[in-house]
Chains A and B, each alone.
Chain A
Amino acid sequence: DAMVIQNPRYQVTQFGKPVTLSCSQTLNHNVMYWYQQKSSQAPKLLFHYYDKDFNNEADTPDNFQSRRPNTSFCFLDIRSPGLGDAAMYLCATSRERGGVSSYNEQFFGPGTRLTVL
């Protein structure tokens, strides 16, 4: 089945120790998104890639970076995790963006729960 895969599902890191979260997709979608979701809150968009074009949200801290080496993979790098970065990180994809059609529907992966000690 076509899907969005996130690895690992659970990640524990130490305060200040860089960590990388991984997302892959078999949907061949152009757009890949990274969201942060804290307990009992809605997902918050960090940034997205449209193909190789990186789009950062204005309020995303510099501590968060992303790489998309090819269509299928996208990585979230947290350079110096703080206690406040503990959250669920969700990857999502859509075929397109900006229109009004099913091509803009976003499909989410299962998430990676990050714990910072």
Chain B
Amino acid sequence: GQQLNQSPQSMFIQEGEDVSMNCTSSSIFNTWLWYKQDPGEGPVLLIALYKAGELTSNGRLTAQFGITRKDSFLNISASIPSDVGIYFCAGLNSGNTPLVFGKGTRLSVIA
């Protein structure tokens, strides 16, 4: 089945720094979703992307749908302690196909 390669697996950054993470796939997706999961909670949808090349922001978060439709990145600017968590990318295609998740990026912010 389709797989997503998400990197990096983990990051340790200083508060105030910018963060970048990305997902790549060997096949195309029609939709890219980015989720954040706090410990012991369910994933929360951050940003959804529907068109190749689309760049979308949500506060300090910015995500882009790669022009080839095989990749997406998420940037977080000026990180704060509450940004700590696991970030998952997920790809979706048309039809009765499941959401495909990356393995997640664990973000730690040092105050």
Contacts and interface: CB of A to CB of B under 8 A. Distances in A.
A98 B103 contact: no
Interface string A97-115: 1111110111111110100
A55 interface: yes
A99 B50 CA distance: 10
14 contacts: A42-B103, A43-B88, A45-B98, A45-B99, A50-B96, A90-B42, A99-B94, A100-B50, A104-B31, A104-B92, A105-B48, A108-B35, A111-B40, A111-B42
Contacts of A113: 40
Interface of A: 4, 6, 40-43, 45, 50, 55, 57, 88, 90, 92, 97-102, 104-111, 113
Given A42-B103, A97-B96, A102-B48, A110 B42 contact: yes
Which of B30, B43, B94, B103 has the largest number of chain A CB atoms within 10 A?
A: B43
Q: Which 8 A-B pairs have the closest CB atoms?
A: A108-B42, A42-B101, A100-B30, A111-B42, A45-B98, A108-B43, A110-B42, A98-B95
Contacts of A104: 31, 92
Given A42-B88, A104-B31, A109 B103 contact: no
A90 B43 contact: yes
A10 to B, nearest CB: 9
Contacts, number: 55
Contacts of B99: 45, 106
Contact of A106 (B30, B45, B95, B96): B45
B43 to A, nearest CB: 5
B84 interface: no
Interface in B15-36: 30-31, 33, 35
B66 interface: no
B50 A101 contact: yes
Contact of A110 (B41, B45, B94, B97): B41
B11 interface: no
A13 to B, nearest CB: 19
